[in-house]
Structure 1
Amino acid sequence: MFIRSLVRYRLICFLIAGIVIGCELPPRNSATITRAVSVGDSVRVGNEEYVMITTAVTMPMYVHHDQAAFIKWGKARGVKVSILGPAEWDVPAQINTIEEVIGTRPTGLLINGTDPAIAQAINKAVAAGIPTVVYDSDIPNSDRHAFLGTDWYEIGRMQGEEMVKLIGSKGKVAYMGILGLTNMEQGFLGMLDVFKNYPGIEVVGKYDDKANVETAARITSDVLSAHPDIAGFCGFDSNSGPGIALAVKEAGKAGKVKITTVDWEPEHLALVKDGTISMLAGQKRELFTWYGAQFLFDMVHQTNRLSHSDAAAGITNVPSTINTGLLKITRENVDEFIK
């Protein structure tokens, strides 16, 4: 029944760098603990399984950074790791995945904080006694044990401050991302708070590109037509930058219309290298994934015990909130990241 449900919700399991990540998560009890997958040449903690649950699991940014770091961590610790979630951006399917995985009694859950709506599912996991860490964007209305990620308000401030410099404190600016997401709305606010100090800057639009390159390109093309004198664009999801850059290039305005955006996939780096994108606000995704998994391990193994029984005392023996910081990538340092 569980396997059929996984298929129904389009859960994806990966085979990366010769490390198999198991699709089947059998129910656990004290009598039977199944290790479907061993990570590395030898398994030191073979009965432990840590599960990452996200949405849009095939998104390159997630695959290259979050998932690669999680797999590397699992190999280093000698434990099984699994990565589950719908192929596309589908929060209800992510919620269903969390709820089904709870019944398999994994050792720990590392959950991408995609939307406030996942709070109840997180609470169910915590109530079931499963160590649960949220990464990327916090779900503050949940009972998660810890959160590691980026301060999105600072992402917005970084973009706003850089755009001010790029356009000489005056001109028209538009911005886009996934509207309604808590983290991006915080990013928008950080950027707008910077622009408030510069009366010469006019914000001509806030757009939802739905994390789609083609949509971002179409929106940018429409804005360029409506505002041929626009000075710059700010992007807030991993596909905003490539989409904006595509339309700006097609309009023959590469380098003239300034672009700042987030993330640092190879495509983003190449666009910085050729001068189409001026700045990337990069998250340290490998850090918040690796240490998020390590927090789970430390909770399970009581690495830093704070009392005779932390569980009985209602204590979580890891930090509750960690800000992993930002990278600022420009043409001056982009080669270091391309290498």
Structure 2
Amino acid sequence: MNSSSRYLSHFRTCVSFLLINLLLLACDPEKGAKYREQQAASQTVEVNSDEEYVMVTTIVNYPMYVNHDQAAFKKWGQQRGVKTSILGPSEWDIQAQISVIEQVIGTKPTGLLINGTDPAIASAIDKAVEAGIPTVVYDSDIPKSKRHAFLGTDWYEMGVLMGEEVVKLIDGEGKIVYLGILGMTNMENGYRGLMDVVKQYPDIELIGKYNDQANAEVSAKIAADVLSANPDLSAFCAFTPMSGFGCAQTVKEAGKIGKVKVTTVNYEPELLTLMEEGAIQQLVCQKRELFTWYGAQFLYDMVHSTNQLSKNDQAIGIANVPYSVNTGTFAITPENMQPFLNR
């Protein structure tokens, strides 16, 4: 046998061995799972602790932030092999968030990913940019700041989606209530979208706009008081998950499932359970994992000049990433909720 024949024979043997192993893995799910775990372990990236990206938010232990924003941010850091840190006050405290941002600036992080909670944080964002730190805002924009990029949802569009569904749910007539964080830019935009839809229906009346600070207990108390004063209430329009949870629980406990509709935002497990029980009719959802994952990637691309536009983009004040990105919305109803259960 010449060298070419021996090589061909060896190649065929290797291919056959690989195919046999793949067939065995396909026939034995347990072995297949172990194989995938081994492959994932072999792809683990060593973390470079000198390259640190910091996320700054409020209510740092808020379940929605933990389950979506922070989980995606941590996963991104693990895959990129960089250090990620998550900081912020435990309460909805804008001044405390500003203090955290200003403290972090002094540590010179590689990049800052900031939850755009309130226009008041603009000055802190500007300080970060002026200190030469790549800075990206997510969730709600701070347009009067010097931030390099923004990624998030069009809350006006979310409000329109909620308004259109509410109109259908209550057949274009009845009393409705709004709950959320009053004064927060994104939610005020959502409220505007909601009202631009329902004001077209003269038989729909908004009887209250309430600030519950994204607190389920406060929301439940407001909802109970509103129901007591308005037994003919048609729907709650809640613009935070905790607002929706409080309203839905109140409707459930009042024995008014199906009679009083509830629409709210995002898809936490507790909300999906209440939807299964019939207490929630619609969830208008953000793609939160997208705006934190790609927000972090924008920071990385700025630091590493992934797409360089000049010989020195930073020196001449050019950000080599998109200025503003709408990551989109989607709606969950009882009809399409199944894929989101136990995900």
Q: Decide: shared fold, TM above 0.5.
A: yes
- Paired residue type of 1:330: T
1:280 counterpart = 2:290: no
How far apart, CA to CA, are the structure 1 residues paired with 2:175 and 2:285? 24
**Equivalence for 1:225:** 228
Secondary structure at the counterpart of residue 153 of structure 1: helix
- Paired residue type of 1:289: T
How far apart, CA to CA, are the structure 2 residues paired with 1:242 and 1:149? 23
**Equivalence for 1:240:** 243
% of aligned pairs identical? 65
- Whether the 8 Å CA contact 2:45–2:78 is kept in 1: the answer is no
- Paired residue type of 2:53: Y
How far apart, CA to CA, are the structure 2 residues paired with 1:218 and 1:114? 24
**Equivalence for 2:266:** 263
**Equivalence for 1:333:** 336
1:54 to 32, 40, 57: 57
Choose between structure 1 and 2: higher helix proportion.
2
1:93-149 CA-partner distances (Å, limit 9, x unpaired): 111110011011100000001111111000000000000000011011100000000
1:99 to 102, 106, 111: 102
1:133 counterpart = 2:136: yes
- Give the drift of 1:184: 0.7
TM-score (norm 1): 0.87
1:90 to 73, 88, 93: 93
1:177-202 CA-partner distances (Å, limit 9, x unpaired): 01111111111110000011111111
Structure 1: which 4+ aligned runs deviate by more than 6 Å? none
Question: Which runs of no fewer than 5 residues in structure 2 stay unpaired?
Answer: 1-42
Larger radius of gyration: 2
- Whether the 8 Å CA contact 2:47–2:83 is kept in 1: the answer is no
1:214-257 CA-partner distances (Å, limit 9, x unpaired): 11111111111111111111000121111001111121101111
1:211 counterpart = 2:211: no
Secondary structure at the counterpart of residue 95 of structure 1: helix
**Equivalence for 1:317:** 320
Q: What's the RMSD between the two structures over aligned residues?
A: 1.1
- Whether the 8 Å CA contact 2:227–2:233 is kept in 1: the answer is yes
How far apart, CA to CA, are the structure 2 residues paired with 1:321 and 1:104? 27
How far apart, CA to CA, are the structure 1 residues paired with 2:300 and 2:292? 13
- Whether the 8 Å CA contact 2:53–2:113 is kept in 1: the answer is yes
- Whether the 8 Å CA contact 2:151–2:327 is kept in 1: the answer is yes
- Whether the 8 Å CA contact 1:283–1:327 is kept in 2: the answer is yes
TM-score (norm 2): 0.86
Secondary structure at the counterpart of residue 174 of structure 1: strand
Secondary structure at the counterpart of residue 233 of structure 2: coil
2:302 to 268, 280, 299: 299
- Give the drift of 1:310: 1.4
**Equivalence for 2:75:** 72
- Give the drift of 1:280: 0.2
**Equivalence for 1:145:** 148
- Whether the 8 Å CA contact 1:171–1:231 is kept in 2: the answer is yes
**Equivalence for 1:116:** 119
**Equivalence for 1:160:** 163
- Whether the 8 Å CA contact 1:45–1:77 is kept in 2: the answer is no
1:157-181 CA-partner distances (Å, limit 9, x unpaired): 1110000000101111111101111
1:81 counterpart = 2:84: yes
- Give the drift of 1:45: 4.0
**Equivalence for 2:197:** 194
Question: Which runs of no fewer than 5 residues in structure 1 stay unpaired?
Answer: 1-39
- Whether the 8 Å CA contact 2:58–2:97 is kept in 1: the answer is yes
Give aligned pairs, total: 300
**Equivalence for 2:187:** 184
